Amino acid sequence: MQKTVKSFILKFLFFLYLLNPANAAFEIKASTAILQDYLSGEILYEKDADLQIYPASMTKIMTSIIAFELIKKGELSLDDKFMVSENAWRLSKSGYSSMFIMIGDEVSVENLLKGIIVASGNDACVALAEGIAGSEEEFAIMMTSKAKEIGMENSNFSNSSGIDHINNYSTVRDIMIMSNYLIKNYPDLYEYFKETEFTWDRTGGDPITQGNRNPLLYKNIGADGIKTGHLAISKYSLAASIFKNNRRLISVGSGFESKNSRSRESTKLLIWGLTNFDVIEISKKETDIDELDVWLGKNKTVKVHTQTDIYKTIPKARKKYLKAKIVYQGPIQAPIEKNSKLGSLIVTYKDEIIGEYDLFASEEIKKLNIFSRLIQSINYLIWGDV
């Protein structure tokens, strides 16, 4: 039921998007792209979003997620250290994005993560993968399993770094899902993605400082992540997120012709989303939004809430067309159990239903004793007063 409602909402908003001539003329110079409003989850723009791509270094988002999840569970610490194998060291060479670790180095998980996220080090990816799973192959299985778990239906990972491999594939829609999951589930650790540089005090040489490859971090647009990518076969790619004016947008694009095009077109897409749409808060998860009438209860009303955050993204200056109403069979007879379903919250845009959500009791309402029930029933019969 929820998937059907979500599908309808997305189709309805895309229909509105097509009706607007300004939006219909909007175009991004990339092979495939997508833009999502983070809070509402609604798709504001897409171009061949299910086209299969090679994700290149955007793969490292999932590499980070696997480590973040273990840290969150307490099964891994940022202070834990992993030994660098020859296999990992071989990627510390010219021609590869590297952290420049050496064979036999013991490197902390935190430094490896910074080497992956900031410096895009392929060597750091292999060292982390081997330290967690014993081999990069086993780690890739963990990555693909996690991808399926979070709804990435068209992705497979064969390595931890995104180095060219026919079985390392995805779509911009799946990478958007992965990016959303990262930000939502690991907000503290996500802070690494906005760091603009990382200095590695390497063995046998001077410290190396590398800047973050995400070009949007150096623009004044509120960017705080997430990951670039490049392979000759799929050209330039970027998963990006900005947080500005209490709004977060996530964009993913692939097939940009150059670094400059990647930066320019990604910025254009994100700014377009900010300037053409507003996000409206309808309800916060488990926060009371109204009171419903109760019959024969110790309280005359019961507070209700939704069990999810509800936001809607609408075109600018169209807020007046967005409405929400509560529908229920009332008054509701006591006793009422806490968290029992009592009604529905219906959201409409221009009188079209774009969402329907269950309402639940925020409190327990006990039944009146028999004498009080009798008095209230008599009052109702005489005065109509419930």
Report the mean per-residue pLDDT for the chain: 89
Q: At how many degrees (to 10) do helices 122-133 and 60-73 cross?
A: 40
| pLDDT tens sequence across 8-54 | 554 555 444 444 444 557 899 999 999 999 999 999 999 999 999 99
Q: What's the predicted TM-score (pTM) here?
A: 0.86
Q: Which of 243-252, 291-300, 312-321, 371-380 has the lowest mean pLDDT?
A: 371-380
Q: Which residue has the tokens 């005065």?
A: 383
Whether 95 shows a pLDDT value over 70: the answer reads no
Q: Where in the chain is the domain with CATH 2.60.410.10?
A: 284-383
Q: Which of 85, 92, 120, 266 is catalytic?
A: 120
Strand partners, 352: 349
| 197 neighbors 204 (Cβ within 8 angstroms) | no
d(CA 248, CA 268) in angstroms, rounded, equals 15
Q: Where in the chain is the domain with CATH 3.40.710.10?
A: 2-276
Architecture of the domain delimited by 2-276: 3-Layer(aba) Sandwich (3.40)
Phi/psi of residue 332, nearest 5 degrees: -85, 125
**Any catalytic annotation for residue 57?**
yes
The domain over range 284-383 is classified in CATH as 2.60.410.10: yes
Whether 363 shows a pLDDT value over 50: the answer reads yes
| 334 neighbors 298 (Cβ within 8 angstroms) | yes
Please, which pLDDT band fits residue 368 given cuts at 50, 70 and 90?
confident
| 33 neighbors 46 (Cβ within 8 angstroms) | yes
**Any catalytic annotation for residue 251?**
no
Please, which pLDDT band fits residue 3 given cuts at 50, 70 and 90?
very low
Burial of 195 (0-12, 13-18, 19+ CB in 10 A): middle
Q: Which of 31, 40, 47, 60 is catalytic?
A: 60
What pLDDT score was predicted for residue 94?
57
Q: Which residue has the higher pLDDT, 164 or 302?
A: 302
**Any catalytic annotation for residue 120?**
yes
Cα distances from 204 to residues 106, 131, 325, 327, in angstroms, run 14, 23, 67, 70
Average pLDDT over residues 110-117: 97
